[in-house]
Amino acid sequence: MCKKIVLVFFLWCFLLPVFSQDIYTVSTKNIKAKIPSTLWGLFFEDINRGADGGLYGEMVENRSFDFPKPMTAWDEWPSQRLRDGIFVVTNQITSNDVNPKYLSVNLQPTDTVGLINTGFDEGMAFTKDLPYSLTLRYRQTMPGVHIRAILLNAMNRSLAEVSITPSNKNGWQEQQIHLVSKDNAAKGKLLIIFEGAGRMDVDRISLFPTDTWKNRPGGLRRDLVQKLYELHPGFLRFPGGCIVEGNTLDQRYQWKQTIGNIDARKTMASVWSDRIGQRPAPDYFQSNGLGFFEYFQLCDDIGASPLPILNCGMSCQFTEAEVAPLIGNGGLDPYVQDALDLIEFANGDSKTKWGQKRISLGHTASFNMKMLGVGNENWGPQYAERLAVFTKAIKQKYPYMQIVNATGYSRIAPVFKYMDSVLRARKVDIIDEHFYASPEWFYANSKRYDQYDRKGPKIFVGEYAAQSDGVGSLKNTNNLQSALSEAAFMTGIERNADIVSMASYAPLFAHVSGWQWTPNLIWFDNASSYNTPNYYVQQLFSLNKGTGMASVLSNGKAIEGQDSVWASAVTDQSTHEIIIKLVNGSSVVKQKKMEIPGLETITGTITGIWGDPKTVNSLSSPATIEPKTKNIYTDAKNFVLDLPAYSFSVVRIKNQP
């Protein structure tokens, strides 16, 4: 009888194997704790065009002329202006500060004029034969204006054209029409031509593809949501990130301004428009078309537990660091009330004001929100004081709500120590820790949670990403080395899943030309998107989350970098499998002897990524690094695993009785 693996899974590369005598012993005898269903989740923020120009399907930038510079992204056509006064921006801010601006079009009999919008960043992407849904919100103040809408490619060739006869009814009207593109175009644009004689006010010009996620009108980009869905996330943290805080309190994210009728959602400044000096984005604003209802709906769609993060009465402490007063009506009360109302909005029934609001927006069932973050990267005594007020009010009304508490921006900053000790003394529910550090740091810190107090608060690793060039460097790439170091760190999280209950890579999305921050999990342009090696690491952990903590030990010790290998193990009760995750961070193949006491035969699969540590994926080469799977079988008690140089492998083995 053969005592070796019958099908040796794969010699992943041609480097010389290094055989080590250590035996890796996998044990499923003492399941220390269940793996939390929330363990691997997502951090979403509207940074790098994550929402407007990204996940949110709107193709027209500044669709309602409400940017501070109201003609941002719009060009007049023809470029040589016929005369002044044809297009006039009208600002009704004194009567409507939510949707203040519209464009008045004044035509004389022979006028043929237009407006061109090139969309976000590099132009609109059109797909052959796909219908696009154009919506116009207008009112005719002197009937007689006719409209033509045209999709153009980069060479100004018409891809689709429709004529629109506006309604002569009084007041604001909304008209929707489809245009079917007769070709693909990468850098297209929308041209709206006005002709005839008359006057018209135009408040919104909007264009969506019809193939949005779940075909929802005005919905999200299907390819990008699909990528989130395929991560099977345990939770979704939204809407950030720094945008929760704003540079000033005036600019903070306010969820109530992001629900309901899109014309009643205020266009907001984005902290990302000017935060990164070398990559300014003066046209970065938030339309809030992707608002809190859509975030909760997205959670439902992708099976993620919702984790909203709210402003704690403090603006970004890196910039203006404003605080709301602790007392009085203009004080913290409105902020706390927003938190209480949000819980009612998510979970309340039809007898409650905000539950009724949710139902009126089309979601009868509760969104089943169980967690709420108070503050993003906040710290110091001012935060501690405000957090206490929030906590008391929330726990009084909703004792079941798990509160996520911030510890600032860095694990090495003194602010972390201060907040950590305050939060531990208060015995809070969940502490949020953020790590942007070198790959070496991630490798070295797989041990971080081994010593944490098992009876203390749960840990949420709310933001982390290995920085290949330097922390905050614009030269950081999503290379394989960064992904492997995160995988090593994640084996440490998995080994400590009794106290680390959630973790999310950050940031999630980036437009290849509209980004401010790097690295990011998923990159896209206006037509397509690709997964990074880091994405595949997240996915391999998430799809192989398991249900119970098992152990894989070498000489009785956790495998935390000895011989440049990091490992963890779980069981999966539903499939009766043992799942082992192994990172080889070295430049040579490692052969590791494994034993799983109690198993007579080893049947399963091994899935992995490996390659040159500097390798990246890209739009033109999206699959340079992607997981590959092989079957494994042996009737040996001890078997040998080949771990390719620079690799991450997930082994799933049938656990016979």
- Kindly state the DSSP code that residue 476 receives in the 8-state scheme: -
The length of the chain, given as a count of residues = 657
Instruction: Give whichever of 270 and 402 is closer to ligand AHR, judged by the CB atom.
Output: 270
Instruction: Give whichever of 153 and 376 is closer to ligand AHR, judged by the CB atom.
Output: 376
Strands (E), 359-419: 371-374, 402-406
Q: Which residues of 629-652 are buried (b: 16+ CB within 10 A; e: fewer)?
A: eeebebebebbebbbbbbbbbbbb
What is the amino acid identity at position 574? Answer: S
Instruction: Give whichever of 241 and 533 is closer to ligand AHR, judged by the CB atom.
Output: 241
- Distance, in Å, from the CA atom of 608 to the CA atom of 600, rounded to the nearest integer, reads 25
Q: Looking at 236-244, 389-397, 439-447, 530-538, which segment touches ligand AHR (CB under 6 A)?
A: 236-244
Q: Are 580 and 28 in contact (CB under 8 A)?
A: no
Contact flag: residue 242 with ligand AHR (CB under 6 A): yes
Contact flag: residue 383 with ligand AHR (CB under 6 A): no
Contact flag: residue 66 with ligand AHR (CB under 6 A): no
For 44, the token pair is 């979403």
Q: Where are the alpha helices (DSSP H) in 209-291?
A: 222-229
Among 46, 195, 283, 377, indicate the residue that binds ligand AHR (CB under 6 A). Answer: 377
Instruction: Give whichever of 55 and 242 is closer to ligand AHR, judged by the CB atom.
Output: 242
Torsion of CA 150, 151, 153, 154, to 10 degrees: 70
Q: Tell me which residue of 535, 547, 544 sits closest to 626, measured CA to CA.
A: 535
Contact flag: residue 517 with ligand AHR (CB under 6 A): yes
Select the residue whose beta carbon is closest to ligand AHR and give its number: 241
Instruction: Give whichever of 71 and 276 is closer to ligand AHR, judged by the CB atom.
Output: 276
Instruction: Give whichever of 24 and 272 is closer to ligand AHR, judged by the CB atom.
Output: 272
Residue 72 CB, shortest distance to ligand AHR, in Å, is: 23
Instruction: Give whichever of 41 and 240 is closer to ligand AHR, judged by the CB atom.
Output: 240
Q: Are 483 and 626 in contact (CB under 8 A)?
A: no
Contact flag: residue 561 with ligand AHR (CB under 6 A): no
Contact flag: residue 45 with ligand AHR (CB under 6 A): yes
Q: Which of residues 563-602 bind ligand AHR (CB under 6 A)?
A: none
Q: Annotated catalytic residue: which of 61, 344, 377, 577?
A: 377
Residue 433 CB, shortest distance to ligand AHR, in Å, is: 12
Among 507, 514, 561, 608, indicate the residue that binds ligand AHR (CB under 6 A). Answer: 507
Residue 410 CB, shortest distance to ligand AHR, in Å, is: 9
Q: Looking at 185-193, 235-243, 479-487, 645-653, which segment touches ligand AHR (CB under 6 A)?
A: 235-243
Residue 325 CB, shortest distance to ligand AHR, in Å, is: 25
Q: Are 542 and 534 in contact (CB under 8 A)?
A: no
Q: Are 235 and 306 in contact (CB under 8 A)?
A: yes
For 459, the token pair is 């840990």
Query: For residue 112, what are the β-bridge partners?
Result: 195
Q: Which of residues 79-138 bind ligand AHR (CB under 6 A)?
A: none
Instruction: Give whichever of 126 and 524 is closer to ligand AHR, judged by the CB atom.
Output: 524
What is the amino acid identity at position 217? Answer: P
How many residues bind ligand AHR (CB under 6 A)? The answer is 12
Q: Are strands 101-107 and 198-209 parallel, antiparallel or unpaired?
A: antiparallel
Among 254, 267, 305, 376, indicate the residue that binds ligand AHR (CB under 6 A). Answer: 376
- Distance, in Å, from the CA atom of 322 to the CA atom of 406, rounded to the nearest integer, reads 17
Instruction: Give whichever of 42 and 578 is closer to ligand AHR, judged by the CB atom.
Output: 42
Q: Looking at 49-57, 234-242, 296-304, 621-629, which segment touches ligand AHR (CB under 6 A)?
A: 234-242
Q: Is 205 helix (H, G, I), strand (E, B) or coil?
A: strand
Write the interaction track for ligand AHR spanning residues 456-495; mark x where CB under 6 A is met and - where it is not.
-------x--------------------------------
- Kindly state the DSSP code that residue 88 receives in the 8-state scheme: E
Contact flag: residue 379 with ligand AHR (CB under 6 A): no
Q: Tell me which residue of 269, 454, 258, 229 sits closest to 345, measured CA to CA.
A: 258
The answer to whether residue 377 is catalytic is: yes
What are the φ/ψ torsions at residue 502 (nearest 5 degrees)? -155, 150
Q: Looking at 127-135, 217-225, 238-246, 334-342, which segment touches ligand AHR (CB under 6 A)?
A: 238-246
What is the amino acid identity at position 466? Answer: A
Other CB atoms within 10 Å distance of the CB of residue 346: 23
Among 57, 198, 240, 492, indicate the residue that binds ligand AHR (CB under 6 A). Answer: 240
Q: In what order do the strands lie in the sheet with 529-531?
A: 509-511, 522-524, 529-531
Residue 272 CB, shortest distance to ligand AHR, in Å, is: 8
Among 409, 442, 464, 523, indicate the residue that binds ligand AHR (CB under 6 A). Answer: 409
Q: Tell me which residue of 218, 269, 215, 277 sits closest to 247, measured CA to CA.
A: 269
Catalytic residues: 377
Q: Where on the chain is the footprint of ligand AHR (CB under 6 A)? A: 45, 47, 240-242, 376-377, 409, 463, 506-507, 517
